[in-house]
Amino acid sequence: MTTQQESPVSAVISIQVENESGALARVIGLFSGRGYNIESLTVAAVDESRHQSRINIVTTATPHVLGQIRAQVERLVPVYRVAVMTGREPHVAREMALVKVIASGERRADALRIAQAFRAHPVDASATSFVFELTGASDKLDAFIDLMRPLGLAEVSRTGIAAIARGAAIL
Amino acid sequence: MNTASHQTDLKPHAAGADTSVLSGAEVLLRVLAEQGVEVIFGYPGGAVLPIYDAIFRQDAIRHVLVRHEQAAVHAAEAYARSTGKVGVVLVTSGPGATNTVTGLLDAMLDSIPVVCFSGQVGVPLIGTDAFQEADTTGITRPATKYNYLIRRAEDVAPCVHEAFHIARSGRPGPVLVDLPKNLMVGPAPYSDAPRAPHPSYRPQTEPGRDVIARAVAAMKGARRPLFYTGGGIINAGPEASAALRKLVEKTGFPCTSTLMGLGSMPAGDRRFLGMLGMHGTYEANMATHGCDVLIALGSRFDDRVTGRLDAFSPGSFKIHADIDPSQINKIVQVDVGIVGDARRVIEMMLEEWECTPANTRQPIDMAQWWHQINEWRKTDSLGFVQDRAPGAIIRPQYAIRRLHELAIATGRDTYVSTEVGQHQMWAAQHFGFDKPNRWLTSGGLGTMGYGLPAAVGAQIAHPDALVIDIAGEASTLMNIQELSTIAQYRLPVKVFILNNQYMGMVRQWQELLHESRYSESYSAALPDFVKLAESFHGKGLRATCMGELDGVIAEMLAHPGPVVADICVAQDENCYPMIPSGAAHNQMLLGPGQDDEISAEGRMLV
């Protein structure tokens, strides 16, 4: 029995790493070197006292490749633990976007109204522009950005996903 | 992110405050001594001058000056492979470090424990494009198991200790430590090996009882079982090979081996089928194809072994034991995956085998299987035609057979390194290895130029042993400068060149795949290897026909110093048997005349 053909699924790979020089480079170098895809990437220290950071990578791959990603990442020296979260593993995945809209008059009012409906907060405003802050699932952010497009969407900055398992399970 | 920080008990010393204060370079050497290092293979340069000065002022550790940094790594690899210790390399910054990359990746793919120290510009100069500055940790990251750029004096001792731990534990591999010059000059605190090394690094070496039990249950029920063993057995130490021999004996199963695993079973053992894979024996490949339980031990289903994947060992129940969990189900989906050190896996299989009744599933009746294997053996797939007339052209296979026979006759412990290509495969096929750690070859990366520096490393480790580099004339020119190292240290290395005036394996593939258009594979303008040997203060010999072969081999083996033997062999000889690329194990080419069957798909494969 050899590698079977399977269809790709979207997954968040959450990686707990030692907070040390080069740890992120090892992980992303492994992804590019072995031909795995990175759709989004977040990384930050999550436990200062134990020098640990968490990397979240969104990727799309077959279950076999996801298993390989986990195994290959797990064997990196500074990696503590790896979780692979697909639709089958209940988890929460959230992302933040800062969205700059340059508009005046009617379009400006429309943008503000839609922002309210999405619970996007204006965190900066000038006579001709807004910066909205919006947090949520990635598709909600996509929808908001699409709605802003005809209203003067000028620039978008997104964080990429942070994810965590639901319930008492921990990484 | 922060630099790796490690707590040490020692307070930082003030520079020059008292004479017991060690410099970073002295701390480095003290750690090496603590780690049991006896030999460093290296090449000096600006950034490592303080380390070389510290080497000059001590005599616990010997330094071997190579002639190229790549050779330092290959020498260290062979030193490690032939002793079971960690090989140590020291090179300067910039080009010194970049020259090691091939060697490091070679060690990575063959799982050889090596620690490479590279000089670096001083910490304040990092990132300024300073003279001989390179982003060494960046460049070597995918070529090493782990690497460090030391930025603080107090990290020198703990990181170097840890580097050895990481190199030798779990699946062994190369570790690089980049040492900025100012940290080697300035004072640094010494500390013992940390009790808890890198907190996230916890390789699993002890296999689970339950998976061993499942594996042995399948083995007990097997009618056509086969062990398929690899370099992991060699890495697990001679005890692992001893345990394997016992397991093969107890079970009565046939055993085949990868290129990297040769020597774990005695070549002449009646249960040993020879090497499997692209240039493996007919019986080994047919057994792999036809077995009903395949037990992979410390091997990794490399593409040279599997051939066409969807036809690899079809229908067999597959057991795979490896120390690296990422190898299991990587290429071939298996039924039982065992994570653990090969020695422990085999020992526990033996225990389980002994305590489980024989007929848990069905009585083992392997007589038929052995009968079938012996039928396959009759094919004599390693056979070749040698005209014995004194003026006849020497066949390379015959030259290796004679070399093997005459080497055995010396009664000396013999280590063989190779370069990469046809001669390497012929050596694997025809030079029978009876003990582990005697066979030094570049398997995973296939590095031409490996053999000569590897012979240096092996001879340094075993000064009284017979060390032979079975070489091709093209490969050996890639690191031929090491003849100078051999001369300097009076190493009695024997370089046995099978000279067919072609990059033979390239020529063979061009013949098979590209209608014999020998594009750039002819070894034009070769040196006179006899004069070359003499110019490097060694002995040069040449055999041009059958009548000269035995005399040259005998003279080479009897000579107490280094010898280069130029064995002029048949130019058109191809390495058979062969699984052509894209084909299955039961579609082997056994000799010339079957060459037109390579699929379009196969032509795409390396």
Residues of B designated catalytic: 69, 131-132, 181, 505
> Residue A169: which pLDDT band, with cuts at 50, 70 and 90?
confident
Q: Please tell me whether residues A79 and A112 are part of one structural domain.
A: no
Listing DSSP states for B294-322 in one string gives EEEES----HHHHSSGGGSSTT-EEEEEE
- Residue found by looking up tokens 């004096």 in the block: B153
Largest CA distance in chain B: 79
CB within 8 A of B583, min separation 6: which ones?
Answer: B307, B308, B597, B598, B599, B602
Q: Is the CB of residue A10 less than 8 Å away from at least one CB of chain B?
A: no
Which chain A residues are closer than 8 Å to B2 by Cβ? 19-21, 51
Does B578 have pLDDT greater than 60?
A: yes
pLDDT > 70: percent of chain A = 97
Q: Is the CB of residue B204 less than 8 Å away from at least one CB of chain A?
A: no
Instruction: Pick from B200, B324, B331 the residue to mutate for testing the A interface (most A CBs within 10 Å).
Output: B200
β-pair partners for B537 = none
Question: Among candidates B108, B111, B89, which has minimal Cα distance to B100?
Answer: B89
Spell out the domain ranges in chain B: 24-185, 209-377, 396-568
Distance, in Å, from the CA atom of B133 to the CA atom of A58, rounded to the nearest integer, reads: 35
Q: Please tell me whether residues A100 and A159 are part of one structural domain.
A: yes
Does A2 have pLDDT greater than 80?
A: no
Do B42 and B64 meet the contact criterion of CB atoms below 8 Å apart? yes
Distance, in Å, from the CA atom of A40 to the CA atom of B380, rounded to the nearest integer, reads: 56
CATH 3.30.1330.60 corresponds to the domain B24-185: no
Question: Among candidates B37, B31, B55, which has minimal Cα distance to B191?
Answer: B31
Q: Is the CB of residue B579 less than 8 Å away from at least one CB of chain A?
A: no
Token representation of residue B114: 């090596």
Question: B205, exposed or middle or buried, with CB in 10 Å at 0-12, 13-18, 19+?
Answer: middle
Does B8 have pLDDT greater than 80?
A: no
> Residue B361: which pLDDT band, with cuts at 50, 70 and 90?
very low
Indicate the number of domains in chain A: 2
Which chain B residues are closer than 8 Å to A75 by Cβ? 171, 324-326
Q: Is the dihedral of CA A160, A165, A166, A168 positive or negative?
A: negative
Cis-peptide, bond into residue B436, ω within 30° of zero = no
Q: Is the dihedral of CA B550, B555, B557, B562 positive or negative?
A: negative
pLDDT at B472: 97
Domain that holds residue A135: 92-163
End of a domain among A55, A89, A123?
A89
- B85-104 tens-digit pLDDT: 999 999 999 999 999 999 99
Residue of B nearest to A23 (CA): B1
Min Cα–Cα distance to chain B from A78, Å = 5
- What is chain B's mean pLDDT, rounded? 94
Domain B209-377: state its class.
alpha beta
Does B6 have pLDDT greater than 80?
A: no
pLDDT at B16: 39
Q: Please tell me whether residues A56 and A100 are part of one structural domain.
A: no
Token representation of residue A116: 């309210």
> Residue A5: which pLDDT band, with cuts at 50, 70 and 90?
low
Cβ pair A25:B141 closer than 8 A: yes
pLDDT at B198: 85
Min Cα–Cα distance to chain A from B146, Å = 7
Q: Please tell me whether residues A102 and A73 are part of one structural domain.
A: no
- Residue found by looking up tokens 């013999």 in the block: B414
Q: Of the given ranges (B145-154, B361-370, B409-418), which has the lowest mean pLDDT?
A: B361-370
| CATH code assigned at A102 | 3.30.70.1150
Partner residue facing B200 (CB), from A18, A22, A67 = A18
Domain B396-568: state its class.
alpha beta
Residue of A nearest to B146 (CA): A77
Does B309 have pLDDT greater than 80?
A: yes
Min Cα–Cα distance to chain A from B212, Å = 21
Query: Within a domain: residue A116?
Result: yes
Question: Residues 72 to 101 of A: which have CB under 8 A from any B CB?
Answer: 72, 74-75, 77-80
pLDDT at B594: 61
Do B180 and B126 meet the contact criterion of CB atoms below 8 Å apart? yes
pLDDT at B359: 54
Q: Please tell me whether residues A13 and A80 are part of one structural domain.
A: yes
Question: A107, exposed or middle or buried, with CB in 10 Å at 0-12, 13-18, 19+?
Answer: middle
